[in-house]
Structure 1
């Protein structure tokens, strides 16, 4: 051990004093850590994380891509092309 053990006035090593100080330091460190953990839990409880998690983002992205693919398929169909073309022609003739 490299720790220096203090010597009492009568020349006897203060082993119990040293042990008591070490235990007090450990207790203080433990209290500090518990306080930090408690603060973190209270923060998480008061302000839960907002927004979707990564898996939820993936599901939303897949749904949006699927919806876009369906819309593109509908717009590319012959009936919709004819309808949109006639609407544009009427708008240009009206102006």
Structure 2
């Protein structure tokens, strides 16, 4: 993995004072943050490349789900229509006529 350094390394000093150690800690923290962001970007890039390799691989499942929901709604509508009194009488008259013809 590549090493990213946000800030250049600080020069070596014989006796670092408190400002040098503070800036060294800040520099170290910033470099750690850059490294974490870089690794997360690499993971995101890999996920995006995987998803874009076959963008329609999950479409069949989604299409089946949409068709199933539409069919369930249509079945509910038919049940509501067939339960009405007028439609029931119409269907009963059709069945009686079909049985009387024979």
TM-score by length of 1: 0.49
- Higher RCO (C-alpha under 8 Å, 6+ residues apart): 2
TM-score by length of 2: 0.46
